[in-house]
Structure 1
Amino acid sequence: MSRQRPLEKILISEYVTVGELVRLTKMRYSTLKYYTEEGMLPFEQAEENLTRRYRREETLKRLERIKALKSAGLSVPEIKEKLKESAVG
């Protein structure tokens, strides 16, 4: 039995899981996990539940920015710096 939430519910949810981000963005799980581990995708994690939760709208916008910067030829360290700059400014 599938435990996936219907796409309609995901699209109106404030928070999504990494698996749901895969469905929304068509990006690979390993890519999203890497971005998370590199500190490029902020998340919240309840102590009693190890599931990482991402703010859907904020995370989708951030992923679009990462894709654009990557397409412009920036390296991961350069992208991280740009993301940090835009968070401050």
Structure 2
Amino acid sequence: MEVIENAEYITIGELVRLTGVRYSTLKFYTEEGMLHFEQAEENLTRRYRRADTLERILLIKKLKEDGLSIPQIKEELQKT
């Protein structure tokens, strides 16, 4: 776990372990353009910048708790 917490890039599975957010939810956020990733050419794995993505997931959680809908959250994310 320490390796994941210090890595620059992590996978969606590692994001699940760090955040407790379900895989399907993170995949939905990715497909909706709410989470940014880079494609590793050697095996086509999506890699997420750990620090930036964790911060973004926390923001999405907060906006959801504040009662915003997905379209509203996407709009807010575009401002950041």
Q: Which runs of 5+ in 1 are unaligned?
A: 1-6
- 1:82 is aligned to 76
- Cα shift at 1:85: 1.1
Q: Which runs of 5+ in 2 are unaligned?
A: none
Q: Are residue 25 (structure 1) and residue 19 (structure 2) matched?
A: yes
Determine the C-alpha separation between the residues in 2 that align with 1:45 and 1:67.
Answer: 25
Percent sequence identity is: 68
TM-score of the pair, normalised by structure 2? 0.97
Structure with higher Rg: it is 1
Instruction: Give the ranges of 4+ consecutive aligned residues of structure 1 lying more than 4 Å apart after TM superposition.
Output: none
Determine the C-alpha separation between the residues in 1 that align with 2:24 and 2:78.
Answer: 22
Higher RCO (C-alpha 8 Å, min separation 6):
2
Kindly report which structure 2 residues correspond to 1:29-68, keeping only aligned pairs within 5 A, or say none: 29-68=23-62
- 1:14 is aligned to 8
Paired residue secondary structure (2:48): strand
- Cα shift at 1:50: 1.4
